[in-house]
Copies of this chain bind each other. A is one copy, B any other.
């Protein structure tokens, strides 16, 4: 009988200290003894990555990306060695590999590399010998043998890519929450753990600010149909499955409510209503590496219009400076900023086939006397910008109205 293969990925908080590394080792050994083949992907211990970044910045505020990858990749290398030792201590064979050793080949885009291919020979050989295979997450190697990293949350990508390449039966993402919730339980205590959610919904939630899993890794999981199980490394209960299609989906219109307070709204006033002006503004922003999220332009009166958009709060000042520099050329008068906003979104594949969801959302907000400042929609989500002080109230009202509190 062929043994089932499980990929288990443990994030930084799951291996934040010696006790937690030992805890992970015990879980791995339990699964091994149940008869599974195991490939374990580990992130750097706790805040190691942030500490290394801080160290680098003390030396060079603008460090070479190649050297940054050389530096940061040590974090995961430490984790895999320690986890191997902890598993050995429990009497089970295990072997650790760096991304380079496993042969996670990436392009040369340091600090945000993309995986080109994975050579699974070394892993397969170790699995055949009955060993638990431990792989450093977040890292790879380019064709020039330089160490690369896959960007924030890259260990998720390592796990999903390995699951695909090794044709794993499941990919478990262990984290410090119990799974995906209908909304943040700190905002709405009635929030429920979701048993199963689709890749598309999870992707939407990630882009709306949910930080449970790296967005790119969900894209890859979707593309290759890798079933993902997001669950807690501190509990035994199962968490949330992320899969292609969730049964009985018809009845569920809205799966989750997200809240993002990390953005600022910028309004460019009295923009001349001529073709090419908006393009000019947003090209300038792109050239200055300001990443714009929602964009709303109102119907024009008197050949002038207002354009509002949201950016990450960190980028707000840069965005304003950029537009102020381009003001005369573009023919703009005033630029306003509002940081006291929040973005509330409802997410659900069900809304594709259920008309009237948007109207219902606006009605709930109106009934609570919450003014909507901007609206943006996608196939499976609707987002509203509201004043920050109303954010929690809005989440709770929507959570209840769309039947998630039951």
Copies in the complex: 2
- Asked if A59 contacts B71 (CB within 8 A), the reply is no
User: Whole-angstrom distance from the CB of A136 to the nearest CB of chain B?
Assistant: 9
A74→B96 CA distance, assembly (Å): 14
Q: A67-B81, A81-B71, A85-B67 are in contact. Are A59 and B96 (CB under 8 A)?
A: no
User: Are the CB atoms of A68 and B81 closer together than 8 Å?
Assistant: yes
Which residues of the partner chain B approach A74 to less than 8 Å between Cβ atoms? Answer: 74, 77-78
Question: How far, in angstroms, from A86 to B55 measured CA to CA in the complex?
Answer: 11
A404 contacts partner chain B, Cβ-Cβ < 8 Å: no
Chain A 146-161 interface mask (CB, 8 Å, partner B; 1/0)? 1100000000000000
Q: Is A88 part of the contact surface with B, judged by Cβ < 8 Å?
A: yes
Interface-central residue, A64, A67, A68, by most chain B CB under 10 Å: A67
A82 touches which one: B56, B88, B146 (CB < 8 A)? B56
Decide if A22 is an interface residue (CB 8 Å cutoff).
yes
Chain B residues, Cβ within 8 Å of A21: 59
Of the candidates A70, A73, A146, the one having the most CB atoms from chain B within 10 angstroms of its own CB is: A70
A96-B70, A145-B101 given; A59·B86 CB < 8 A: yes
When C-beta atoms are compared, the residue in chain B nearest to A145 turns out to be B101
- Closest CB in chain B relative to A97 CB, distance in Å: 9
Question: Scoring A residues 275 to 301 as 1 if CB is less than 8 Å from chain B, else 0, what string do you get?
Answer: 000000000000000000000000000
A52 CB within 8 Å of chain B: yes
Q: Is A89 an interface residue (CB 8 A)?
A: yes
Asked if residues B63 and A88 are in contact (CB atoms below 8 Å), the reply is yes
Residue of B67, B82, B95, B100 near A59 (CB, 8 A) is B82
116-166 of chain A: CB within 8 A of chain B = 122, 145-147
Complex CA–CA separation, A85 to B66 (angstroms): 10
Is A311 engaged at the interface, CB distance under 8 Å to the other chain? no
Q: Are A64 and B88 in contact (CB under 8 A)?
A: yes
A378 on the B face (CB < 8 A): no
Chain B CB within 8 A of A80 CB: yes
Interface string of A309-347 (1 = CB under 8 A from B): 000000000000000000000000000000000000000
User: Which residues of B have CB within 8 Å of A64?
Assistant: 84-85, 88
Q: Does A353 contact B (CB under 8 A)?
A: no
Could you tell me the distance in whole angstroms from the C-beta of A60 to the nearest C-beta in chain B? Answer: 4
Instruction: Give CA–CA (A86, B61) in the complex, Å.
Output: 10
**Does A109 belong to the interface (CB within 8 Å)?**
no
Using a CB-CB cutoff of 8 Å, which residues 76-109 of chain A contact chain B? 77-78, 80-82, 84-86, 88-89, 95-96, 98, 100-101
Contact with B along A22-57 (1 / 0, CB 8 A): 100000000000000000000000000000100110
Report A368 CB to chain B, min CB distance, Å: 51
CB distance from A69 to the nearest CB of B (A): 8
Bound: A89/B21 CA distance, A: 37
Can you name 29 A-B residue pairings with CB atoms under 8 Å?
Answer: A18-B55, A22-B59, A55-B78, A55-B82, A56-B85, A59-B82, A60-B85, A60-B86, A60-B88, A60-B89, A63-B85, A63-B88, A64-B84, A66-B95, A67-B85, A70-B77, A70-B84, A70-B96, A70-B98, A71-B77, A71-B78, A71-B85, A74-B74, A74-B77, A98-B147, A101-B145, A101-B146, A101-B147, A122-B145
CB-CB nearest 8 A-B residue pairs: A71-B81, A74-B74, A70-B81, A60-B85, A60-B89, A63-B85, A67-B84, A67-B81
